[in-house]
Chains A and B, each alone.
Chain A
């Protein structure tokens, strides 16, 4: 009897530990190598989505990859840049790319600038929001694929469009009201460069300099090595732990200027390091700093 009880107890403990992980279980790694992609290009479940400009894709692309330009995934809405499309518009974009909820998607972009790098993570965030869980980013993007002298096609692949009706994942999305309600409760990560966080610099599109009260600084450009690849998991984990602590269950909200840069740390925290409750604030400082009642901190590292 005692043994049976112990068995059930052990099972319960195992389930408690593994269930949150199972919720984020992936069939493909969040960051895939060029070699991996090359080997899996003919996998019928896999769709490589090239998010570079149409002209760049036509100039040369990864065999079998399809082109859905970055601007399809992040649009201007009510004066704010890089916003999520409306759900029905997003479903149209996903469906027209032939992506199903169970597809394995690899996002391929450029690595010329930090914006190019986080375009890939931003599209990954958008796809996961749209209900596609297995989304990966190609490490080093198209640039490294080309540097590795892998096969490059000039053919334009027309995706097999389908009707997509997914279930949006609101758990990874934060509004301004939500951020305000979580000040002092959740970890808020400002992913811009430190001078923006500190308030000595700001973009023209952001009304006032500074950061959300209580936010910590963890810049997204630091995720990547100089060659545009991701830094290794250990280093990224140590950076995250140094700023956010080791409790991966604590709610975390990433923000930046327009909701693009913050997708970098959102992706690393949730998809690579397994933090369980990470949101990205789509409106970010472009929206937040317009609100005279939203607490903004300047000239402070806290």
Chain B
């Protein structure tokens, strides 16, 4: 028997969520004696319908219906500029609703049972208890390709300094990022009040003169991660609808496609020219968007090769994207991200 689905009977009397009956959320026929009859019409993920939780958690249900974790609008926004108007219609009908949207998180995916990834779930978080937060069993699964394993060091080999100090997702990412604030955003980049390094590490509090001077020199020119990402992170390549992508570690520096005045860490996104070909989408405007996007690798360290020596960037130019390194068949926009650091004048 799949143990992950067993309910801890001890909680039934103690948790108000069970004060009525299982069928209040899961439907089915609780009076039936036959298993098949009892499970007829059963809903596996009841909180997919936010109205199930809304009677008690009205405010959250109201904002969550617009939240990016529920709408998954960010996935659509990330590629839509590559489509013609006609192609966007096809994408919305054939790809977004059937594929991208299927990844949205219901309330239960974060509070009751680990989300299903590639058909696999790790099961109930705690015997069907309603759990406030359990990042290692919830966030870690959907963000288990990039971000979470980089954060814990399982990918890349060096954990993020914040993880080393005992912090997990919600110590930086606050409730509103999950439950939403009521506004309908198309991308997480539109959101205000995102976590930022300077919220906890304001400029001017550096302990050493070297750090102070390095920060002053590079302010507004480089993202914090450019110097403080400890090393390689996952880059995904060659995604094809229905088949998935391949990945390999890499560390890439270049101009931020959202703000070409700053240098930042870039991550390869796996969309290639024929990603949606099986859905009949050729991507007429493929070249408009780059294949490299700004990223904050969650493998931050106080000291890295780049903080230890100016030469790593200014002489060796390590990690900086070059024309030769650009992915083959990539978008023309990629070339606009190349930056060659200057030698330091003595």
Residues of A within 8 A of B (CB): 53-55, 57-58, 67-69, 71-72, 75-76, 81, 86, 88-89, 92-93, 96, 156, 158
B309 to chain A, nearest CB (A): 12
Cβ–Cβ contact B135 & A55, under 8 A: yes
Cβ–Cβ contact B158 & A76, under 8 A: yes
Q: Tell me the total A-B contact number using a CB cutoff of 8 A.
A: 51
Cβ–Cβ contact B168 & A55, under 8 A: yes
Q: What A residues does B28 contact at CB under 8 A? A: none
B195 to chain A, nearest CB (A): 17
The secondary structure that dominates the B interface is loop
In the complex, whether B303 has a CB less than 8 A from a CB of chain A is yes
Q: What B residues does A92 contact at CB under 8 A? A: 302
Q: What A residues does B135 contact at CB under 8 A? A: 55
Complex Cα distance A72/B164, Å?
Answer: 6
CB within 8 Å for A81 and B303 given contacts A53-B152, A68-B164, A93-B164: no
Which residue of A has the minimal Cβ distance to B162?
A54
Q: What B residues does A158 contact at CB under 8 A? A: 166
**9 closest A-B pairs by CB:** A76-B157, A55-B136, A71-B153, A71-B159, A72-B164, A75-B158, A67-B166, A54-B166, A76-B158
A97 to chain B, nearest CB (A): 10
User: Chain A CB within 10 Å — which of B134, B157, B168 has the most?
Assistant: B157
Which residue of B has the minimal Cβ distance to A66?
B166
In the complex, whether B231 has a CB less than 8 A from a CB of chain A is yes
By the criterion of a CB under 8 Å from any partner CB, how many residues of chain B are at the interface?
20
In the complex, whether B156 has a CB less than 8 A from a CB of chain A is yes
In the complex, whether B143 has a CB less than 8 A from a CB of chain A is no
In the complex, whether B339 has a CB less than 8 A from a CB of chain A is no
Complex Cα distance A89/B158, Å?
Answer: 12
User: Chain B CB within 10 Å — which of A58, A67, A68 has the most?
Assistant: A58
Cβ–Cβ contact B168 & A54, under 8 A: yes
User: Chain A CB within 10 Å — which of B134, B135, B136 has the most?
Assistant: B136
Cβ–Cβ contact A75 & B157, under 8 A: yes
Which residue of B has the minimal Cβ distance to A56?
B136
Which residue of A has the minimal Cβ distance to B140?
A55
Complex Cα distance A72/B302, Å?
Answer: 12
Question: What 1/0 mask marks residues of chain B from 226 to 253 whose CB sits below 8 Å from any chain A CB?
Answer: 0000010000000000000000000000
Q: What A residues does B137 contact at CB under 8 A? A: 55
In the complex, whether B293 has a CB less than 8 A from a CB of chain A is no
Complex Cα distance A92/B207, Å?
Answer: 13
